[in-house]
Structures are given as structure tokens and as C-alpha cells.
Amino acid sequence: MSAGVVGRGRRTAVIGLLAPVTVLLGIFFLIPLGIMLVYSFLEPGLYGGVVWSFFPWNYGRVIGWPIGGGEEFDPIYLTIFWRSLKLALSTVVVSLVICYPVAFWIARLKGWRKNAVLFAATLPFFSNVLVLIYAWLLILRPTGFVNTLLVAAGLIDQPLNLIFSEFSVLVGLVFFLVPFMLLPIYANVERLDWALVQASADLGATPIQTFRRVILPLTLPGIVGGSIIVFIPALGNFVVAQLLGGAKVQMVGNLIEQQFLKARNWPFGATLAMLMMVVVLALVLVYVTRTAERNDAAKAVG
């Protein structure tokens, strides 16, 4: 059954094996995304339905374009988009700074210790996001762990306002997404050729030079991969912002949720989701092409 020319029997096998996924993802993934694209160009109806006419103004509304009816130019949605981008990027940077040294630590461990630590670092990947958020609610709220501790220690009189801020949302996102960053970087560091690092040091490079010229470029694929894997859910998340940010810290995800479950403006919600999807697809496309180019270059050299 090794790879070879697709003959008659083989063709039947391929078709049989791929039929289920074609049905599943064709009907329940590709078609829904297509319908969402169509919806983003429909006019919202008065009572939550849609009007079947071409209506490109949903996209204009995102950048603050007023749609008749006394609406004025208002960049509120741009503000929310900007805040989401800022928070998602901050999440990437913070989790990168946290995870990068940890990856080196794990890579240098030996035997059962390495397996145990790797296991412990992977496990939270599967924990329920609500439980993670809940833990930080317990820690950061006015009568929570941190404030109780600080008041008891006499360091503060009034509880600090830690929750319902961009800070608490950032903490929640980082805690939730750190395992997503660690694993790609670790996989990269594990394959790092330490002979090159040694050679750099032997040739008289300072540790900082070795890091900048050798270690950093060699681990860049892991950094980029981890960053993309963290950036996407950070940008799209709405539960963390809703529970740890409250009404004050809205992200695009919250805006989309409101369009669907409260404002009942589905076309505008679909438009926001389309924009988010475009950002994500563009990122992944650039990443995949760049990786393919790098692999081709490596093949050409090797």
C-alpha cells in the first residue's frame, strides 16, 4: 500500500477515504463561510432579518462611514479594531518573552525530567478557558487573592482596581495562550544545532553577538509559528474580554457577538467576521509561502 501511481483500486480507495471529510467540511465548513461572505453584502432588515439586496455599506460602516438615518461619522469600530490588534500583539510579545527561555530550559533537560516538564507544560493546553478566566477573577477582583493579601499586609487601604481593564484582559489572554507559544518554540529549539553556537563562541563572538547572529535566526521559524498560533485566537477571543474586561474593554469578538445575539444585525456581524478572517488568512498565507520558500532555498543549498 506504499505511495505509487493511483490505479483503479487505489482510486476507489482514495475516493472512499476522502468522501466523509469532503461531505463534512464541504457542507458544514466551506458553504457556511461562503454564506457568511454573501451575508456581509446584504442589508440588515428592520427587525433583525436581512433584505436581499446588494448592500456594500456594512464595510463602510466599519471605518465609520455613516449610513443614512442621522448617523454621523463615528470611528468607534476602528477604535475597537485597533484595541483588539494592540491586545493581540501584546499577548504575542508577552507570551514570547515568557516562553523563549523556558523552551531552552526544557530542551536542555534530560531523561524523565524533560518528559515530565514537557508534559506539565502541555497539559494546560486542554483546560477549559472559563476555568482559566475564573482563576484570574479570583486573583484580581477587589475582594480577590491579591487585594486581600495586600490589605492584610497593610500595604494598601483600598483594594486596587485590577479587574475590568486592558491589563486584566491581557493577563487572561496570556495565561490562556502561553502553551500555544511554548510548543512551537520548543520544537524549534530542540532541533537547534549547538555546534554552530559553539563555533560562533570559538570564533570570538560575544554571547550577545552569538545570540543575535546565530541563535535568533535559527529559532526564528519557531518564534514566527508560535506568534501566529497565539495571535489568531487572541484576536478572535471574546470570552476573556467579556469576563475580565467587562463593558469597558471591548474587542472585535465582543462586537461580533453583540451583532448576533443582541443588536440582531447579522450582516454587520458577518462583515466584522469577514474582516477578521481576511486578516487571519493573509497572515497564514504569508507564513506558508515564506516557509515553503525557505524550504526550497534549503533544498537548493543542501
Nearer to another protein, 74 or 120 (CB): 120
What's the closest the beta carbon of residue 137 comes to another protein, in angstroms? 6
Terminal alpha carbon distance of the chain = 30
What's the closest the beta carbon of residue 42 comes to another protein, in angstroms? 10
What's the closest the beta carbon of residue 72 comes to another protein, in angstroms? 28
What's the closest the beta carbon of residue 38 comes to another protein, in angstroms? 9
Question: How many Cβ atoms are within 10 Å of 133's Cβ, its own excluded?
Answer: 23
Nearer to another protein, 35 or 71 (CB): 35
Segments in 194-265 forming alpha helices (H): 194-202, 207-210, 216-236, 239-240, 252-261
Nearer to another protein, 247 or 301 (CB): 247
What's the closest the beta carbon of residue 73 comes to another protein, in angstroms? 27
Overall size of the chain counted in residues? 302
Residues 6+ away with beta carbon under 8 Å from 271: 40, 58, 59, 61, 62
Nearer to another protein, 61 or 271 (CB): 271
Phi/psi of residue 5, each to 5°? -65, 140
Nearer to another protein, 66 or 281 (CB): 281
Q: Are 136 and 171 in contact (CB under 8 A)?
A: yes
Beta bridge partners of 54: 42
